[in-house]
Structures are given as structure tokens and as C-alpha cells.
């Protein structure tokens, strides 16, 4: 005798089966999610070579992850810059200059991280034989230029730890499969 629940599954579309399987996974019922997957009709596809698709999808995933990291860091940098301007405009809020000093340190950190993200993109693109400016253009991002330092202050440099982490992260993205 056929399982009555399987009869119900036979009437569902593949999209509906996916929803049911996900609900079982959410509730920790992996066995039932597996049974649902067995009910999905098998089809044959003609498409691009799998190696091609994996590389393109991995690359586009890397580009999207990089852009997300950059936009988040740019947002934080702009927010920090606004805080610094607020203190400069209202110096009575920070008579000792301690708050402004902390804010400037955070601003330098965000700029250092943004420089590292750009350098990581340059490195990964060079390894992949891809133009980093073309990658930036996909998301409307230009190479980051830090603020000019105040007289007597050093130029901002890319954060080495962030650079290493970003190169590793972007390289892993390239290796993701479909």
C-alpha cells in the first residue's frame, strides 16, 4: 500500500514541494524532507558546461560579497565622518578633544579597512586575470581614496589583518560551487 502522505506530495508542483521540504528542514525533520525530495520529478537539462557555470557563479558571488563589504564599510566611514563633523561644529561638546580623537581613530580604521578591501580585490583579480576596475564598475564603486592626512599625521595604510582576511574570503568565494 502506498503511503497516503506520498499521494499528497504527488499532487504538488516542484515549487510547492520545495516549500514543504524547507518547512520540514526548519522543524528538524530531515527524513521527511528527504522523502519530499524523492517526490520531485526528475528532468534532463541541456545547459552550459558545469565548470563554466561554477566559475561564473563563484566569480559573481565574490563580486557581490566584496561589494557588500565595501558598502557596509563606506556607510560606517561616512557615519563616523559625520560624528567627527558634529564635534568640530560643536566643540563645546568635547572641550578636551578626547571624543574627537576617538572618532578620528575609528575613521582611520574604516579607511584602512576600505583600502584593504580594495587591495584584496586587486590581488584576487590579478590571480584570476580579471580587471578590478571592471569588477568595481559592476556595482558602481570607484577605488577608495582616503582623506588627506592633517599636517604631521601619517597617510592611512591598508590594514594588514583585514587585507589577509579579505583575500582569503574572496578566494573562497571563487571556489564555491553551484
Residues across the chain: 178
Q: Grid coordinates standing for 110?
A: 574604516
Nearest in space to 64 (alpha carbons), one of 161, 118, 136: 136
Measured between alpha carbons, how far is 173 from 159 in angstroms, rounded to an integer? 21
pTM of the model: 0.74
Closest to 14 (Cα-Cα) out of 31, 49, 38, 45: 38
- Which residue, chain included where needed, has cell 568640530? 88
Residue 3: predicted pLDDT = 62
Rounded to 5°, angle at Cα 164 from 163 and 170: 85
Residues 6 or more apart whose Cβ sits within 8 Å of residue 142: 136
Whole-number pLDDT of residue 85: 92
List per-block mean pLDDT (blocks of 10 residues) for the chain, which spans 178 residues: 67 90 91 90 89 88 95 96 91 89 94 97 93 93 89 91 96 74
Taking the CB of residue 15, how many other CB atoms lie within 10 A of it? 7
C-alpha cell at 24: 520540514
**40: which 3 cell numbers?**
520531485
* pLDDT score at 1: 40
Amino acid at each position: 500500500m502506498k503511503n497516503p502522505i506520498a499521494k499528497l506530495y504527488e499532487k504538488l508542483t516542484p515549487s510547492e514541494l520545495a516549500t514543504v521540504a524547507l518547512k520540514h528542514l526548519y522543524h528538524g525533520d530531515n527524513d521527511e524532507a528527504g522523502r519530499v525530495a524523492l517526490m520531485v520529478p526528475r528532468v534532463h537539462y541541456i545547459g552550459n558546461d558545469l565548470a563554466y557555470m561554477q566559475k561564473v557563479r563563484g566569480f559573481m558571488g565574490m563580486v557581490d560579497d566584496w561589494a557588500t563589504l565595501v558598502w557596509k564599510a563606506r556607510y560606517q566611514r561616512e557615519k563616523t565622518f559625520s560624528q567627527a563633523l558634529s564635534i568640530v561644529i560643536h566643540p563645546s561638546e568635547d572641550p578636551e578633544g578626547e571624543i574627537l580623537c576617538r572618532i578620528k581613530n575609528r575613521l582611520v580604521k574604516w579607511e584602512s579597512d576600505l583600502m584593504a578591501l580594495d587591495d584584496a580585490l586587486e590581488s584576487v583579480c590579478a590571480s584570476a586575470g580579471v580587471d578590478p576596475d571592471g569588477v568595481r564598475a559592476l556595482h558602481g564603486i570607484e577605488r577608495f581614496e582616503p582623506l588627506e592626512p592633517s599636517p604631521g599625521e601619517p597617510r592611512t595604510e591598508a590594514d594588514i589583518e583585514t587585507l589577509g582576511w579579505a583575500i582569503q574570503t574572496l578566494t573562497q568565494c571563487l571556489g564555491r560551487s553551484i
